Amino acid sequence: MLEYNVETLVHLYDSLNSEIAKTEQEVEKFNQFAADPTDERAMEEITKLYERLLARNIKLNKMRDNVEKLLDNILNIEVGEISNS
């Protein structure tokens, strides 16, 4: 079983938030990008890049959610141990 300390999880959570913000900025840039819709090859490449960017954002959000759950579980355990003392 892997063990994580709270400091490591908080750092990971912050890093994931930064990466999510970056991908959201990239998505916004894509939404402002104009391409010639008649250029099928360019449109295919843009679509592939956009889909990869969206998939990365979804994955980062899932990872952040998992880290948040771990932090919540640790907090609940710590609060339970303190109240049982």
Q: Report, in angstroms and rounded to the nearest whole number, the Rg of the chain calculated over CA atoms.
A: 19
> Do 12 and 67 form a contact (C-beta atoms < 8 A)?
yes
pLDDT of res. 27: 86
**Residue ranges covered by each domain of the chain:** 6-84
What are the two backbone dihedrals, phi and then psi, of residue 39, each rounded to the nearest 5 degrees?
-85, 90
* Model pTM score: 0.78
pLDDT at position 1 is 54
What pLDDT tens digit does each residue of the chain (85 aa) get? 566 688 999 999 999 999 999 999 988 887 777 677 788 888 888 889 889 999 999 999 999 999 999 999 988 888 887 777 6
How much is the pLDDT for 28? 85
